[in-house]
């Protein structure tokens, strides 16, 4: 009988915490363990009940002014202290730019393994946690199991659906923990200059690639996007080489998970496809009938995007009436 037990979830971002609770609940049930949440911050106690409604059995609450901002050493010392005294078997950590180093350092401090950025998690017949992630620039999916405990996994945002809240009860444990002083000083924080809406949040994305001849032709995509309440994206060359966009969809850019992804004039190199793998339906529109994108799409149309996009917009408007 292992001394490690329970599945824990942590994120400094509340939305990501809720997303992980559904999957965390499923894993905990399969392993016949409890689901714990680590709630860290300042004046965050009010969030505890909601976390229980979303599936947590226990909320480990550390509320301290020193935790108001995310500071690596402070948060790390809290998680390390809790994990050392309560010995969770699995710790799921939301993979943000702040918390991924936290996960790596927690794993190091606990002499443990870490499986980063896993968008698929399951429990196999031997009750082993199996994590899956994309590697080799989108060329491979790697399956990882653990040889040591605790098992630390980082989870990208939008990998899992937020579960439906339920009327349920749980335990809130308010804890005092020694908090390490940060080794770096935050001197300024400002909002990131970016498009107003995050492309990760879009249900419909219409993306263009090198098949788009002029920057102004983007209006064709904008018009279709407005009919579908979608967003416009692009592949890396349009952003990096032509500078027509500031951001792109792909492994090195935004990884998206829309209901519908329409790839216009995008050939379908592996790095781009790795960023859209989780789309529900992929449509490819391309002049070249041999473009690799057609092998990776649900619906393919061979043709000129300059003709097809306006016609598709008109057809959708008519059929959706």
In the complex, least distance from residue 148 CB atom to another protein, rounded to whole angstroms: 4
In the complex, least distance from residue 49 CB atom to another protein, rounded to whole angstroms: 26
Give the Cα separation of 175 and 196 in Å (integer): 39
Total interface residues for another protein by CB under 8 A: 82
Residue 228: CB atoms within 10 A of its CB come to: 19
Q: What are phi and psi of 6, to 5 degrees?
A: 80, 155
Residue 321: CB atoms within 10 A of its CB come to: 5
In the complex with another protein, the residue whose CB is nearer, 161 or 298, is: 298
Q: In the range 9-38, which residues lie near another protein by CB under 8 A?
A: none
Contact with another protein (CB under 8 A): which of 178, 183, 214, 243? 183
Contact with another protein (CB under 8 A): which of 137, 174, 242, 288? 137
* Whether 212 contacts 238, CB under 8 Å: yes
Identify which of 276, 258, 254, 255 has the alpha carbon closest to the alpha carbon of residue 266: 276
In the complex with another protein, the residue whose CB is nearer, 59 or 228, is: 228
Identify which of 99, 118, 104 has the alpha carbon closest to the alpha carbon of residue 14: 99
Residues 268, 161, 32, 34, Cα dihedral to 10° = 130
Give the Cα separation of 235 and 267 in Å (integer): 9
Contact with another protein (CB under 8 A): which of 186, 197, 214, 243? 186
The DSSP string of 10-54 is E-SSHHHHHHHHHHHHHHHHHTT--EEEEEEESS-GGGHHHHHHT
Identify which of 84, 73, 74, 91 has the alpha carbon closest to the alpha carbon of residue 28: 91
Q: In the range 106-135, which residues lie near another protein by CB under 8 A?
A: 107-109, 111-117, 130, 133-135
**Element holding 261 (H helix, E strand):** strand 260-264
Contact with another protein (CB under 8 A): which of 148, 171, 215, 222? 148
In the complex with another protein, the residue whose CB is nearer, 288 or 295, is: 295
Q: In the range 273-302, which residues lie near another protein by CB under 8 A?
A: 277, 280-283, 294-302
Q: By CB under 8 A, which span of 24-32, 163-171, 185-193, 207-215 interacts with another protein? A: 185-193
Partnered with residue 154 across adjacent β-strands are 93
Contact with another protein (CB under 8 A): which of 2, 169, 184, 290? 184
Contact with another protein (CB under 8 A): which of 100, 173, 223, 244? 100
Contact with another protein (CB under 8 A): which of 65, 143, 171, 219? 143
Q: In the range 217-276, which residues lie near another protein by CB under 8 A?
A: 228-229, 251-252, 259-260
Write each residue from 193 to 222 as x if it is in contact with another protein (CB under 8 A), else as -, in one continuous string.
Answer: xx--------xx------------------
């Amino acid at each position: 009988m292992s001394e490690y037990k329970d599945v824990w979830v942590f994120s400094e971002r509340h939305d990501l915490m809720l997303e992980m609770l559904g999957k965390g609940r499923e894993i905990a049930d399969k392993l016949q363990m409890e689901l714990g949440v680590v709630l860290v911050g300042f004046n965050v106690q009010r969030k505890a009940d909601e976390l229980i409604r979303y599936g947590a059995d226990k909320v480990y609450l550390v509320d301290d002014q020193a935790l108001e901002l995310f500071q690596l050493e402070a948060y790390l010392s809290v998680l390390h202290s809790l994990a050392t005294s309560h010995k969770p078997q699995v710790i799921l950590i939301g993979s943000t730019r702040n918390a991924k180093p936290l996960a790596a350092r927690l794993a190091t401090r606990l002499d443990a393994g870490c499986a980063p950025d896993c968008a698929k998690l399951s429990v196999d017949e031997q009750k082993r946690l199996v994590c899956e992630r994309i590697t080799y620039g989108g060329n491979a999916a790697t399956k990882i199991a653990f040889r040591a405990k605790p098992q630390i996994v980082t989870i990208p945002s939008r990998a899992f659906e937020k579960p439906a809240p339920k009327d349920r009860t749980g335990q809130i444990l308010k804890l005092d923990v020694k908090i390490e002083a940060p080794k770096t000083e935050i001197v300024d924080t400002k909002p990131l200059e970016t498009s107003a809406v995050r492309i990760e949040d879009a249900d419909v994305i219409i993306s263009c690639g090198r098949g788009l001849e002029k920057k102004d032709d983007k209006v064709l995509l904008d018009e279709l996007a407005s009919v579908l309440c979608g967003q416009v994206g692009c592949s890396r060359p349009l952003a990096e080489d032509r500078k027509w966009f500031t951001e792109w969809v792909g492994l090195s850019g935004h990884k998206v998970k829309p209901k519908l992804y329409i790839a216009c004039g995008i050939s379908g190199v592996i790095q781009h496809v790795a960023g859209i793998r989780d789309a529900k339906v992929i449509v490819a529109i391309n002049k070249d009938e041999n473009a690799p994108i057609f092998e990776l799409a649900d619906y393919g149309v061979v043709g000129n995007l300059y003709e097809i996009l306006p016609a598709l917009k008109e057809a959708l408007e008519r059929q959706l009436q």
